[in-house]
Chains A and B, each alone.
Chain A
């Protein structure tokens, strides 16, 4: 299995809703990432988990809450989002530092 699987593919949520994005990989990768990508822009790093511990938080607002329940799963909990948070959210994983990153196909989030 050489894939990173993200669910759901599309999500529409109101500003008072709570929702979660899920990411799963079975490649034995020990680093997992959340990126946010706005239209016509490169992905921006949000969080990094290394060996199931949060190692990087790029000053992301607290309305985004990551969770890594085990080495294969990564969640992103969303609460009280703003319309400007609408974007493509990408999950990625990597085995080794400086190694190749494998990206999921993303969740397209729309906040209304």
Chain B
């Protein structure tokens, strides 16, 4: 079945460090891919998305590229801030009004 695997956290970084959160997926067909962010006590916010192979999603300095050959959608940011501390979920939509989430990765950024 469809599934998403994310790197385990927590990931702890100093401010201005480079961030990578790995995400790989298993799916039949051509799913859309997403990164959602959840700040403490809040709902999920869409961070970025990509709908086909080689698409790059970007938002607020975060980027991820849809790599069909490696079935990956890794999240990157060149310089993290304390305000980026949150839980990050990789997700795929295979169709049929379903959204499949990874387990989530906690990011902690220290000043």
Contact = CB atoms under 8 A, between A and B. Distances in A.
Interface of A: 6, 31, 33, 40-43, 45, 48, 50, 55-56, 88, 90, 92, 94, 97-106
A43 B42 contact: no
A55 B45 contact: no
Interface in B41-82: 42-46, 49, 51
A101 B93 CA distance: 10
B103 A42 contact: yes
Nearest to B89: A42
B97 A55 contact: yes
Contact of B95 (A33, A97, A104, A106): A97
Contacts of A31: 97
Interface of B: 31-32, 34, 36, 42-46, 49, 51, 89, 93-99, 101-104
A94 B34 CA distance: 13
Given A43-B44, A106-B42, A98 B31 contact: yes
A34 to B, nearest CB: 12
Would you list the 3 A-B pairs with minimal beta carbon distance, nearest first? A42-B101, A105-B43, A98-B32
A60 to B, nearest CB: 15
Nearest to B46: A100
Given A42-B102, A50-B97, A98 B51 contact: yes
Contact of B101 (A43, A48, A94, A104): A43
6 contacts: A45-B99, A50-B97, A92-B44, A100-B49, A101-B46, A103-B43
A102 B94 CA distance: 17
